[in-house]
Amino acid sequence: MKKKTMIELNRISVEQFRQAKKMPLAVVLDDVRSEMNVGSIFRTADAFVVEKICLCGITAVPPTPEIHKTALGAEDSVTWERYTSALEAVDALKLQGYTICSVEQVHNSISLEHFVMEPGKKYALVMGNEVKGVSQGVVDASDLCIEIPQEGTKHSLNVANSAAIVMWELYRQWLARM
């Protein structure tokens, strides 16, 4: 097997990305501390044509060298908005018709493999702080919670990895409907 060239990958420009059809998904970052995690989430959001990212609380905003280091320019293609808190973002997204889905381990969560996107609905995924997770107030304001099944000795995954896993699953479902 031979690796594909950049021409064969047929990547679109930032302007073409902005005009492209987007998956009906917003990603909300609730006090994510690491700029490298933020950059990684931008890059994944670009890969899966996410509508926008909401940067909340202490979450860093572009441009920063650390975000750029992992985003590799996706901070320029993916639309982002700044909110003073994740709860403020959730309230705004609800008014815009989004179904709020916190990615968190809670009683009565939906395991990711059982979550099904409904056609015609817009979703917002709330990803939490690296230590504390999604704040309880935001969990309370959510329409539902999605949990990534895990069996090892650790009870959580890195926030950027978790975001990638859930975005991939939603992207897979979205593609299947196109």
Answer whether residue 108 shows pLDDT above 90: yes
Per-residue model confidence (pLDDT) at position 178: 81
User: Is residue 139 a part of any domain in this protein?
Assistant: yes
- pLDDT digit string, tens, across residues 61-102: 999 999 999 999 999 999 999 999 999 999 999 999 999 999
Average pLDDT estimate for 3-10: 91
User: Is residue 163 a part of any domain in this protein?
Assistant: no
Answer whether residue 6 shows pLDDT above 90: no
- Which contacts of 133-137 are long-range, i.e. CB under 8 A and separated by 24 or more positions? 133/104, 133/105, 134/30, 134/86, 134/102, 134/103, 134/104, 135/30, 135/31, 135/86, 135/87, 137/87
User: Is residue 22 a part of any domain in this protein?
Assistant: no
User: Is residue 8 a part of any domain in this protein?
Assistant: no
User: Is residue 84 a part of any domain in this protein?
Assistant: yes
Structural domain containing residue 77: 27-147
- pLDDT digit string, tens, across residues 46-60: 999 999 999 999 999
User: Is residue 127 a part of any domain in this protein?
Assistant: yes
What 3-state DSSP class applies to 103? strand
Structural domain count, the chain: 1
Q: Which residues pair with 103 in a beta bridge?
A: 146
Here the CATH number for the domain that contains residue 66 is 3.40.1280.10
Alpha-carbon span 134 to 32, nearest angstrom:
10
- Choose among 144, 136, 130: nearest CA to 102: 144
Per-residue model confidence (pLDDT) at position 81: 98
- pLDDT digit string, tens, across residues 114-163: 999 999 999 999 999 999 999 999 999 999 999 999 999 998 999 999 99
